[in-house]
Amino acid sequence: MTETTGPTIFAERAAPLRKQKSTLQRLFEHRLFVTGLVLFALMVIMAVFADWIATHNPVQVRARFRFRAPDMDNFFGTDNFGRDIFTRVVYGARMSILIGFATVTFTAIIGTACGLIAGYFRRVDNVLMRVMDALMAFPTLVLALALAAALGPSAFNIVVALTTVYVPRTARIVRASVLVVRDADYVHAAHAVGASNLRIMLEHILPNSMAPLVVQLTFVFAYAVIAEAVFSFLGVGPPPPTPSWGNIIAEGKDYIREAAWITLFPGIAISMTVLGLNLLGDGLRDVLDPRMNVENR
């Protein structure tokens, strides 16, 4: 008897443990997350392999082919210069993905640094957060547009402008999670054994704020993609003829009556990218930070 009951009890206790899935596993079982990942991955692949996917030259002017409706040769039609819209949309992905990645990287580094410093060193907190509050008082795009207008139209300046706008929001999130753990026993213990402030911040406090940070950054990426389009639309985006989703729409808007396809397709590309990123963000939030989603309670 003892031989059989022992292992049975053991097995029963072990069962829930075995069911515990890794975060990655749970993410890949989240249907919407996977949909988002696929959509976003498609856009990244399009950006990276643009040279192979494109069917024409993105900047070549072909007067004979002006305003062709979508057909087998020009999948998405052609614009007022006879350029192939499909090719331009494929190359346009580069600009959006590049601006998105750059904005997310800078926002993550600067926002995390500001948030950690504000949350950890109480003396700096007040001043730093008042400046952040003031930056957040401006409607996001209006401030970003004004900055881009001052700095001049280029992809890099858009990244600078967007980073300025999204750093305060990111810093706030990091600061909030720092405040939760800064008085935790393990932080005091680290102090006691002589860990440096930098080490405590990076190794003991930062991991705790990773979940909300990652979620926020996916949304920052989505905003950056939309922002590029808005900037180009208002004439302060990356200058033509280099295709970007925003400036294809900006050039096409004068022809919506006779050639709606010029504006239609880049807009669909933007929407799919943003939808993908929103799904990614929602999925990450559900899995990484269940507290933020009430349905899981």
Partner 1 sequence: MGRYIIQRVLSAFPVLLIVTLISFCIMQLVPGDPAVVMAGPQATAVEIERVRVQLGLDQPFLQQLGKWLWGLTQGDLGQSILLGRSVSTAIAERLPTTLTLTVFSFILTLAIGIPFGIIAALKQNTWIDQTVMTVALIGVSLPNFWLALMLIILFSVMLDLLPAGGYVAISQGFWPWFKSLLLPSLSLGLLQMGLLARITRSTMLEILRQDYIRTARAKGLPAFKVVGKHALKNAMIPIVTVIGIIFSLLLTGSVVIETVYSLPGLGRLLATSIFSRDYPVIQGGLLLTASMFVGINLLVDVLYAFLDPRVRYD
| 135 touches partner 1 (CB under 8 A) | yes
Q: How far apart are CA 111 and CA 80, in angstroms?
A: 43
Closer Cβ to partner 1, 148 or 174, answer by number = 148
| 179 touches partner 1 (CB under 8 A) | no
DSSP H stretches of helix in 234-297: 245-252, 261-288
Which of these ranges, 13-21, 45-53, 67-75, 226-234, lies near partner 1 under the rule CB under 8 A? 226-234
Interface with partner 1 (CB under 8 A), residue from 82, 98, 140, 181: 140
**Residues 246-285: x/- map of binding to partner 1 (CB under 8 A)?**
---x---x--xx--x--xx--x--xx--xx--xx------
Count of residues that interact with partner 1, criterion CB under 8 A: 46
> Whole-angstrom distance between the N-terminal and C-terminal Cα of the chain?
42
Closer Cβ to partner 1, 35 or 242, answer by number = 35
Give the type of residue at 246: G
Tokens 């590049």 found at = 98
Q: How far apart are CA 50 and CA 156, in angstroms?
A: 21
Interface with partner 1 (CB under 8 A), residue from 138, 195, 239, 289: 138
Reduced to 3 states (helix: H, G, I; strand: E, B; else coil), residue 156 is helix
Q: Return the ∠ at Cα 39 (arms to 34 and 45), rounded to 5°.
A: 115
Closer Cβ to partner 1, 37 or 190, answer by number = 37
Nearest residue to 34 (alpha-carbon basis) of 290, 282, 294: 282
Q: Which one-letter DSSP state was computed for residue 200? A: I
Residues in touch with partner 1 (CB under 8 A): 130-131, 133-135, 137-143, 145-152, 222, 226, 229-230, 233-236, 249, 253, 256-257, 260, 263-264, 267, 270-271, 274-275, 278-279, 293-295, 297
